[in-house]
């Protein structure tokens, strides 16, 4: 492998997205906890700046889909138990 490319692929970069809103941080922390009843977190992209705001949390895929509209862009995380292991699915939706 070309070592120049290795550095390219292993470099850590920030997304530039402003996700520091305390509601967003708490929702993500809650979703990651094993004792949390929530199974998703949905964020709405706000304006032209890379910023997100919490759109919702909930307990089902149906609830997540009900929060989507064709007017906005979204990023979501859905937690699901697959064969006894917790898996996190990331989704992007552009309305």
Give 14-62 pLDDT, tens digit per residue: 656 666 778 888 888 898 988 888 999 998 887 766 677 888 889 998 9
Query: Which residues partner with 8 through β-bridges?
Result: none
31: three-class secondary structure by DSSP: helix
Smallest CA-to-CA distance from 70 within 89, 44, 90, 51 is with 44
Q: How many CA atoms lie within 13 A of 14 on its CB side?
A: 5
Question: What is the pLDDT, as a whole number, of residue 8?
Answer: 47
Q: How far apart are the first and last CA of the chain?
A: 40
Question: What is the pLDDT, as a whole number, of residue 83?
Answer: 92
pTM exceeding the 0.85 threshold for the entire prediction: no
């Amino acid at each position: 492998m070309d070592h120049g490319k290795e550095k390219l692929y292993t470099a850590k970069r920030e997304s530039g997205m402003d996700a520091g809103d305390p509601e967003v941080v708490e929702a993500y922390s809650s979703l990651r906890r094993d004792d949390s009843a929530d199974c998703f977190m949905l964020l709405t992209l706000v304006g032209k700046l890379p910023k997100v705001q919490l759109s919702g949390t909930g307990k089902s895929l149906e609830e997540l889909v009900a929060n989507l509209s064709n007017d906005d862009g979204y990023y979501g995380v859905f937690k699901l138990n697959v064969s006894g292991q917790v898996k996190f699915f990331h989704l992007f939706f552009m309305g």
